[in-house]
Amino acid sequence: MKIHREGYSLVLYSLGATAVLNTIIILLFNEIKYLWIGTLSISALFVCFLLYFFRKAERELSEDAAKIFVPADGEVVAMEESFEDEYFKDKRLQLSVFMTIFNVHSNTYPVSGKIKYIKYHPGKFFIASHPKSSVYNERLSLVIETEQGVEILVRQIAGMVARRIVSYASQGAEVKQGDELGFIKFGSRVDVFLPPGTKPEVVLHQKVRANIDILAKLDNQQ
């Protein structure tokens, strides 16, 4: 299992801190076995959780301009036509994937194309599965224009626990379907806004995986 680069410093810091803490407790309370054994066990579980959370999924896909791949592991929590008021300012098909702390949190580009728009918004930290998190939570929006001229908005949204959105995108960059878009630390959500009439390939509450499952098809947009 590989560890994602966003977890390197936190995992190393945690290993060092827990090693120092447990050494002190063992030296001071060596005779109280339940205390130092308990502390050691909790520390080991905590480090194992960090290693699990920051695991990196190695997945390859073959580019397909007619397909929009799922950009995040998790559960489909929204599938509806909604008014997108940041960039398009009209109705779009919104598909949202909610990530729990047990999902891989690396986000990927659902399509290939050029980054036409990118903007970070500070905000609140409602639970990411709630619909209003798309509007009020800390978030980062970017728009990708495909070679066919289709514009797709992807929005990373921080949740109740998440406090940092990482994006590797830059204005004007050419991006490849399946490459890393960014990372959201701890429970969070990714929204994708598609042209009206786009055909979804997922259903509500479906468990999905980035770069494996197809979110929608753009056959009628070419």
Q: Which residues are catalytic?
A: 188
Q: Which residue has the tokens 């939570």?
A: 137
Q: Under a CB-based contact definition with an 8 Å cutoff, are residues 94 and 193 in contact?
A: yes
Q: Under a CB-based contact definition with an 8 Å cutoff, are residues 152 and 110 in contact?
A: yes
Query: How many CA atoms does the CB half-sphere of 12 hold within 13 Å?
Result: 7
Tally Cβ neighbours within 10 Å of residue 148.
12
3-state secondary structure of 54: coil
Residue 98 exposed, middle or buried by CB count within 10 Å (0-12, 13-18, 19+): buried
Which residues, in sequence order, are bridge partners of residue 191?
96, 155
